[in-house]
Amino acid sequence: MIKYIPSPETKARLQSIVEQLEFNHIDLARLATFKSTGSSSRAIARCYALSKIWQQTLNTKAHYIIEVISEKFDKLPEEEKEKVLIHELMHIPKSFGGGFRQHDFVCRRNVEALHRRLKGKTQFL
């Protein structure tokens, strides 16, 4: 059975990355973070969005969730964790409207470039 636990430590890491990379389109107040356990997924992390139909139904703006899968994410070296989090943030479009950027844009080359930029701005996260 999968368990979801709010993850303030993941939120803090994401906030630092958002600030350092100047991802000004990301509204941290509408970004939730969870750590899951018990998943059999091959994924290390996932990004979810509240779609337009749900936004209209609930009369709210877009919200996003980033889930890190504890069994996989926790074992990674710190730099790989940063890259995974950058990858998930890259899925959030500049419109912050409930959609997703696809893997034609969210790819290893772009993640690596942003990670190099991040490391050039700060030594610590």
How many other C-beta atoms are found inside a 10 Å radius of the C-beta of residue 17?
21
DSSP 89: H
Q: In this structure, what token pair is assigned to residue 61?
A: 């703006």
For residues 84 and 68, the answer to whether their CB atoms sit within 8 Å is yes
Q: Which CATH class is domain 3-121?
A: alpha beta
For residues 49 and 99, the answer to whether their CB atoms sit within 8 Å is yes
Q: Which helix (H) or strand (E) holds 19?
A: helix 8-20
Looking at the predicted structure, is the pLDDT value of residue 123 above 70? no
Instruction: Convert the pLDDT of each residue in 2-56 to its tens digit.
Output: 999 999 999 999 999 999 999 999 999 999 999 999 998 999 999 999 999 999 9
The residues near 121 (Cβ < 8 Å, ≥ 6 apart) are 20, 21
Instruction: Convert the pLDDT of each residue in 105-122 to its tens digit.
Output: 999 999 999 999 999 865
